[in-house]
Structure 1
Amino acid sequence: MQLGRRALGAVLLTFGIITLALLTAALVIVPAGEAALAAVPAKDVAYAAGAAGAADDTRPPTRPAGLRPCPVPFAPTKAASRETGYASICWSASSDDTGVAGYDLYRLDAKGFVLAATTTGTVGGFSGDLGRLYTMYVVARDSAGNVSPPSTLITVAAVRGMTPTSSPSPEPGDHVPPSKPTGLRDACLPDYKGVSFCWQPSTDNVAVTAYDVYRETATAYTRVGTVSPSSYLIFMESGLVTGQRYTYVVVAKDEADNVSQPSDPLSALSGEGFPTPSPSCTVSYRAATWSSRLNAEITVRNIGTTPIDGWRLTVDYPASTTQLVSGWSADWTQSGARLTGTNKQWNKVIPVGSTTQVGFTASYSGSVPAPVSFALNGRLCVVD
């Protein structure tokens, strides 16, 4: 019996020595960092690795594509006195090196694009006035906060269920949006340093009050300017990279904050413009006023290096409330807010350093107008 106990003790001692040796070997061959992680539960190790990966991730997801109308089967509802529908779209999933965390859907209103919905799937939408058209775009996000380029714009109607519904009864107030801006054309001001483009006016049942211009950026469509209605609509943006193309859309809106569908996108080139010539003239202007009329006297001096042989002087006023009545020492005409004087035969040549004096009488309404610019043969003059 005693021998059996001694044998058992020896076995236990041998097992303890072997176990200690294995533990020692494990500590020797495992690097310090991994030995520290060995004490962390497996799920926490995975979380720590994911967090580290997210911190190092700077690559955004791909641009959402394949946008299409995708109404969902909601029951008809009413909010206050207006029937509501649901504006909904589907899109193809974006890809990302660490995985897409979600999608943000932006809706266009009179103040710009606003966040309308967030989803982890590829279907999204929001409630709206039944039958009304809504423009939207989608961006994808990953867990590191990187945001994809914006999708193309899509315009869909707010409907009920999977099939389009009849238009609701009209309600008091203006709910008709302006027509879609068309005819966008690049380089409408070729000597401008930057982007310049123009388009055709929209129509509205009441009146168009403004045009908002949006430029596509790395993650959004950003409003970069607003243009007032006129017979010639042009937008200009400076401070861009010369030689690079930028994508723009134009949206018309009315006084009731109805917004049109965006124009078709325009890819506009940022040009280097033409060199600005040195002024060749100075202008002195003075005007006497009486009973809503003004008598303008203009002295033009040639400060260039060669005689001016034949000239056209343009005088631009800020508003077309100024109306030409008569003029002298030039043949005067008017187009809009611009008055133009063309030389007489006897004052056709202005020698270097010499002056010529011209003038006109005009009527006006409101406050006394002051010219905003003078140009001789298309080149701006310095105002004394």
Structure 2
Amino acid sequence: MVLLTLSSLTVALLTAMLAIGMAGGTALAAIPSNDVAYAAAPAPAKAAADDTKPPTRPTNLIPCPVPLAPLTEYGYASICWKASSDDTGVVAYDLYRLSADGFVHASSTGGTVGGFTGVLNRPYTIYVVARDAAGNVSPPSALITVTATLGMTPTSSPSPEPGDHTPPSQPTGLRDACLQDYRGVTFCWQPSTDNVGVTAYDVYRETSTAYTKVGTVSASGILNFAESADVVVGQHYNYFVVARDEAGNVSLPSATLTALAREGFPTPTPTCTVSYRAATWSSQLNAEINVRNIGTTAIDGWTLTVDYPASSVNLTSGWSADWTQNGARLSGKNKQWNKVINPGSTTQIGFTASYGGTQPAPLTFALNGRTCAVA
């Protein structure tokens, strides 16, 4: 009987050829279709029947060069990461990409290199989870944003598609506990900018296996998020915010905020509602505020306070109230002619202020020290 074996020289040559192909961009195989990741899968692990322990979180995500060069108008977003560990063995990694509808499954792979096709030169925000044979899923990796490229081999870029492809700017200034009297989690942030206009902000919370959209805040309202039903008082939760425009372009995620679910203060039912809108020009804002008495008795004498983020506005002038400023708080005291606000009645006041950077949004309104609901 003759046994066929590979000499050590042959093995070395094959290893060198593989390394050269990966480093030099030689097409070793075609790019898989349907966004299937291109890393080879290891031998599947056999899961124990009673395995309930998830793999560890994938870490060390970095952009990874596209090993192949598809000669098409599409790009390819590619990342690498450090392998997770598991008591029975990881069988797959799932990649999720951020879209206007939330995170969607992009591809799966058995190795620690993966990616998916996308629009050329568009940035994509991605996270990875590990999965074992019993179906246990790891905590999600940190987020990473990479740009879809054509691969290692230079090719000419196709003409850009018509339409709005510019995403809003990254939301900034996330601040915990903007509503101190709220039971649960509450936080606020500063507006993003866009070449056409931001339409909404999506809020994501980290869960045990994913980043889940937990709310959407209109760009025309107060940029504050609150939730109580799915959080436990005394525990911390990780959130980030993504801005979205009418064309479906999404911004880079904000920095992650770790927020505490608080007990809140026992507060009386609001006796006022406030509607706020502001017109801006050349680093100036003109704010119009409608204050409505929703109580059952007349308000005889009042002061409305408007709290902005620290040092974000400087009062210039005001009308229908005597306006003053103390730090980031603007206060408007009634005139003699609008001193009384009867039940069901509304009075309109306003002011002009200067600001720097992006247009600031007020955090809270209070009438005579009691927080007003925002209409």
Normalising by the smaller structure, the TM-score range is: 0.5 to 0.7
Instruction: Give the alignment of 1:308-319 within 5 angstroms.
Output: 311-312=301-302
Q: Which amino acid letter does the alignment assign opposite residue 208 of structure 1? A: V
- TM-score where L is the length of structure 2: 0.63
Match of 1:259 among 243, 250, 258: 250
* Distance change (3 Å), C-alpha of 1:236 and 1:76: same
Q: Name stretches of at least 5 consecutive residues in structure 1 with no aligned partner.
A: 1-49, 284-295, 303-307, 315-330, 349-354, 363-373
Match of 1:211 among 197, 201, 215: 201
Q: In the alignment, what sits opposite 1:70?
A: 64
Q: Deviations over 1:137-188 (max 9, x none)?
A: 0000111111000000000000122489886533211111111111111111
Runs of 4+ that moved beyond 6 A:
163-167, 296-299, 355-358
What secondary structure sits across from 1:55 in the alignment? coil
Does 1 or 2 have the higher relative contact order (CA < 8 Å, sep 6+)? 2
* Distance change (3 Å), C-alpha of 1:297 and 1:228: closer
The RMSD of aligned alpha carbons is: 4.0
What secondary structure sits across from 1:54 in the alignment? coil
Instruction: Give the alignment of 1:327-338 within 5 angstroms.
Output: 333=321
Q: In the alignment, what sits opposite 2:259?
A: 268
Q: Deviations over 1:307-347 (max 9, x none)?
A: x9x74287xxxxxxxxxxxxxxxx95599xxxx884859x9
* Distance change (3 Å), C-alpha of 1:122 and 1:299: closer
Q: Which amino acid letter does the alignment assign opposite residue 241 of structure 1? A: V
CA distance in 1, matches of 2:367, 2:254: 38
What secondary structure sits across from 1:177 in the alignment? coil
Instruction: Give the alignment of 1:294-309 within 5 angstroms.
Output: 301=297
Q: In the alignment, what sits opposite 2:104?
A: 114
Q: Deviations over 1:164-217 (max 9, x none)?
A: 988653321111111111111111111111111111111111111111000000
CA distance in 2, matches of 1:156, 1:164: 18
What secondary structure sits across from 2:263 in the alignment? coil
Q: In the alignment, what sits opposite 1:127?
A: 117
What secondary structure sits across from 2:94 in the alignment? strand
Whether the 8 Å CA contact 2:61–2:144 is kept in 1: the answer is yes
Q: In the alignment, what sits opposite 2:237?
A: 246
* Distance change (3 Å), C-alpha of 1:360 and 1:107: closer
Q: In the alignment, what sits opposite 1:54?
A: 48
State the shift of 1:255 in Å. 0.9
What secondary structure sits across from 1:106 in the alignment? strand
Match of 1:159 among 149, 152, 161: 149
What secondary structure sits across from 1:301 in the alignment? coil
State the shift of 1:75 in Å. 2.1
* Distance change (3 Å), C-alpha of 1:275 and 1:98: same
Q: Which amino acid letter does the alignment assign opposite residue 275 of structure 1? A: P
* Distance change (3 Å), C-alpha of 1:147 and 1:184: same
Q: Which amino acid letter does the alignment assign opposite residue 102 of structure 1? A: A
Q: In the alignment, what sits opposite 2:163?
A: 173
Whose Rg is larger? 1
What secondary structure sits across from 2:49 in the alignment? helix
Q: In the alignment, what sits opposite 2:82?
A: 92
What secondary structure sits across from 1:223 in the alignment? strand
CA distance in 2, matches of 1:126, 1:251: 21
What secondary structure sits across from 1:102 in the alignment? strand
Which is worse superposed, 187-196 or 90-99?
Answer: 187-196
* Distance change (3 Å), C-alpha of 1:167 and 1:177: farther
Whether the 8 Å CA contact 1:104–1:139 is kept in 2: the answer is yes
State the shift of 1:377 in Å. 2.4
* Distance change (3 Å), C-alpha of 1:233 and 1:167: farther
Q: In the alignment, what sits opposite 1:195?
A: 185
Q: Which amino acid letter does the alignment assign opposite residue 260 of structure 1? A: S
* Distance change (3 Å), C-alpha of 1:203 and 1:297: closer
What secondary structure sits across from 2:297 in the alignment? strand
State the shift of 1:231 in Å. 7.0
Aligned: 1:233 with 2:227: no
Q: How many residues align?
A: 275
Instruction: Give the alignment of 1:358-377 within 5 angstroms.
Output: 377=368
Give identity over the alignment, percent.
66
What secondary structure sits across from 1:174 in the alignment? coil
Q: Which amino acid letter does the alignment assign opposite residue 104 of structure 1? A: D
* Distance change (3 Å), C-alpha of 1:115 and 1:99: same
Q: In the alignment, what sits opposite 1:366?
A: none
Q: Deviations over 1:74-124 (max 9, x none)?
A: 22433xxxx211001000000000111111000111000010001110011
Instruction: Give the alignment of 1:323-362 within 5 angstroms.
Output: 333=321, 342=334
* Distance change (3 Å), C-alpha of 1:56 and 1:182: same
CA distance in 2, matches of 1:250, 1:72: 29
Q: Name stretches of at least 5 consecutive residues in structure 2 with no aligned partner.
A: 1-44, 274-291, 305-318, 324-331, 349-364
Whether the 8 Å CA contact 1:71–1:162 is kept in 2: the answer is yes
CA distance in 2, matches of 1:298, 1:219: 44
